[in-house]
């Protein structure tokens, strides 16, 4: 009898996790659509404003509004827990590329620069701005507890290959609950000692995410199961 009940609970757990993952994928998809519409609306009036010249091999750019930037090629898969490898929405390694406008730079020194992944506080660019200075970016880098060490662990740097790099085995060492916004932002930049020809490469940023304590992962699953049983008229009690 007990074994049958446990098997039933395990099946319900698996069902709830699938439903939760489907819901999260739908929310992420809606978020991407909203961003796409916002970019299209912004581009309608782009010709009214001066544009920087496209990157050319051998050029030296120093203007803060230069068109060269890093960009993440996918968002993060959620939910995110401490000490668990983070992946992209496609459940693969995080990928980052270097772009001139909308075109990836796949040759020249920039296409093989060294990049690093780090964490920003969740209030960075909270007003929706898409450009910032190097100083603004650096001032929002999140520090570890007691301002020691990095929030991320694992292989946090890589060399671009034809303008693109994959970064696997990265994990959060701590959750985002201690920050005022209760969120972190994953960012990427060309390594500070690897600037090429004085070119300002704008850093890449992802959407703010909540990073949960891994110790609460099991509790979260049990609460979902409990909610499911309540919805069908049953009550379960857990020891927490």
Q: What does the pLDDT look like over 97-123, one tens digit per residue?
A: 999 999 999 999 999 999 999 999 999
Distance CA 9, CA 31 (A): 33
Tell whether 47 is covered by a domain: no
pLDDT score for 44: 40
What is the token pair recorded at 16?
């709830």
Which pLDDT does position 129 carry in this prediction? 81
Task: Identify the pLDDT of residue 145.
Answer: 76
pLDDT tens per residue, range 199-238: 899 999 999 999 999 876 555 555 555 555 566 666 655 5
Tally of CB atoms within 10 A around 63: 9
Write the CATH number for 88.
2.60.40.10
- Report yes or no on 121 lying in a domain: yes
The answer to whether position 43 is within a domain reads no
Partnered with residue 59 across adjacent β-strands are none
Does the residue 66 lie in any domain?
yes
- Structural domain including 123 reads 60-216
Alpha carbon distance 105, 158 (integer Å): 16
Asked, for residue 87, whether it belongs to a domain, the answer is yes
In a domain, 115, yes or no: yes
Nearest alpha-carbon partner for 137 in 160, 165, 152, 116: 116
Q: For the chain, which ranges sit under pLDDT 70?
A: 1-66, 146-148, 193-195, 216-240
Domain count, the chain: 1
pLDDT at 6: 60
CA distances from 186 to 106, 165, 176, 209, 211 (A): 24, 15, 12, 8, 11
Run of H or E including 220: helix 217-231
pTM flag (> 0.85) = no
**pLDDT for the residue 67:** 86
Is residue 31 one of the residues assigned to a domain? Answer: no
Give the per-residue pLDDT at 61.
Answer: 42
Q: What is the pLDDT of residue 150?
A: 87
Question: What pLDDT is stored for residue 146 in this prediction?
Answer: 66
Is 37 a domain residue? no
């Amino acid at each position: 009898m007990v074994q049958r009940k446990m098997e039933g609970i395990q099946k319900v757990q698996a069902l709830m996790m699938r439903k939760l993952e489907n819901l999260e994928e739908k929310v992420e998809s809606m978020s991407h659509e909203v961003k796409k519409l916002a970019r299209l609306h912004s581009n309608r009036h782009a010709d009214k404003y001066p544009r920087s010249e496209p990157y050319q091999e051998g050029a030296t750019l120093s203007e803060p509004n230069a068109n060269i930037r890093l960009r993440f090629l996918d968002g993060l898969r959620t939910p995110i827990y401490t000490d668990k490898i983070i992946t992209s929405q496609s459940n693969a390694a995080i990928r980052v590329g270097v772009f001139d406008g909308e075109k990836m730079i796949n040759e020249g020194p920039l296409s093989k620069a060294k990049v690093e992944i780090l964490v920003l506080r969740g209030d960075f660019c909270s007003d929706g701005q898409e450009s910032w200075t190097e100083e603004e970016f650096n001032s929002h880098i999140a520090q570890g507890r007691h301002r020691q060490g990095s929030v991320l662990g694992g292989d946090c740097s890589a060399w671009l290959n034809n303008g693109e790099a994959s970064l696997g085995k990265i994990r959060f060492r701590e959750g985002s609950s201690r920050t005022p916004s209760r969120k972190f932002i994953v960012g990427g930049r060309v390594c500070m000692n690897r600037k090429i020809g004085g070119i300002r490469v704008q850093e890449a940023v992802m959407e703010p995410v909540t990073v949960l304590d891994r110790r609460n992962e099991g509790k979260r699953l049990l609460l979902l199961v409990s909610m499911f049983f309540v919805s069908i008229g049953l009550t379960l009690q857990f020891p927490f």
